[in-house]
Amino acid sequence: AQSVAQPEDQVNVAEGNPLTVKCTYSVSGNPYLFWYVQYPNRGLQFLLKYITGDNLVKGSYGFEAEFNKSQTSFHLKKPSALVSDSALYFCAVRDEGRGKLIFGQGTTLQVKP
Amino acid sequence: DTGVSQDPRHKITKRGQNVTFRCDPISEHNRLYWYRQTLGQGPEFLTYFQNEAQLEKSRLLSDRFSAERPKGSFSTLEIQRTEQGDSAMYLCASSFGLPTGELFFGEGSRLTVL
């Protein structure tokens, strides 16, 4: 069965500092991994995805994520956080042979000036 | 804007009533998904369609829930005999018919059951 874990309910960083939002997954086949962001009272917005190839993928708004197969992780990163990055972030996984996308519980990112 | 649209955006109903939500996906997309999200939680998968075929339905989904996509375009999600526990945001998303494709989400339909 597919599953996703986001071990931190909230991450606090100061503006200008690097940020990391953690995600681990479990699938039976090869994973397709995604990150989404949700602002208050809005739908989910796609940030980036890993399908195959380079373990470091780059996405929207300066975000990137590192795929680590041995640790079954797909952590979201940004070199320099902005106050406007404050939002709810979701990691999601799809098993290679399946259609449904399974989401984690989400991590609230708070960036303070 | 030709994104995913959902209607109504807000619905307040009394326990025991039936409600129906509509989703219009991005026109080129042949996959359509329904999710449920409660406050502070991640989206919970309900069901998805490829064209008009319903390919998977969550085993956690009550028989009171039914979804259709009759012509492979828009979809409806009906909840019969609503309960207070059904109060949530119902999200619709669409994608191209590839397993590598990302989902594009609508703004959601918020249901409040009194």
Q: Which of A3, A4, A35, A103 to mutate to test the interface with B (most CBs of B within 10 A)?
A: A103
Record: contact A97-B99, CB cut-off 8 A: yes
What is the secondary structure of A9-53 as a DSSP string? SEEEEETTS-EEE--EEE-SS-EEEEEEEE-TTS-EEEEEEE-SS
Chain B residues whose CB is inside 8 A of the A46 CB are 102-104
Tell me what pLDDT residue A40 has. 85
Task: Return the structure tokens found at B26.
Answer: 């991005």
At B53-78, the pLDDT tens digits run: 999 999 877 899 999 999 889 999 99
Q: Are B61 and B85 in contact (CB under 8 A)?
A: no
Q: Are A66 and A80 in contact (CB under 8 A)?
A: no
Question: Does residue A7 have a cis peptide bond before it, meaning omega lies within 30 degrees of 0?
Answer: no
Record: contact A100-B91, CB cut-off 8 A: no
Chain A residues whose CB is inside 8 A of the B55 CB are 99
Tell me whether A75 touches chain B (CB under 8 Å). no
At A60-104, the pLDDT tens digits run: 999 999 999 999 999 999 999 999 999 999 999 998 778 899 999
CA–centroid distance for A4 within its chain:
10
Distance CA B18, CA B82 (A): 6
Q: How confident is the model over B78-96, as a mean pLDDT?
A: 96
pLDDT over threshold 70, residue B1: no
Q: Which residues pair with B7 in a beta bridge?
A: B22
Tell me whether B10 touches chain A (CB under 8 Å). no
Tell me what pLDDT residue B35 has. 97
Tell me whether B78 touches chain A (CB under 8 Å). no
Beta-carbon contacts of residue B63 (< 8 Å; ≥ 6 apart): none
Distance CA A100, CA A112 (A): 35
β-strands B10-13, B109-113: how paired? parallel
At A1-42, the pLDDT tens digits run: 789 999 999 999 999 999 999 999 999 889 999 999 999 878
Tell me whether B83 touches chain A (CB under 8 Å). no
Tell me what pLDDT residue A47 has. 97
Tell me whether B60 touches chain A (CB under 8 Å). no
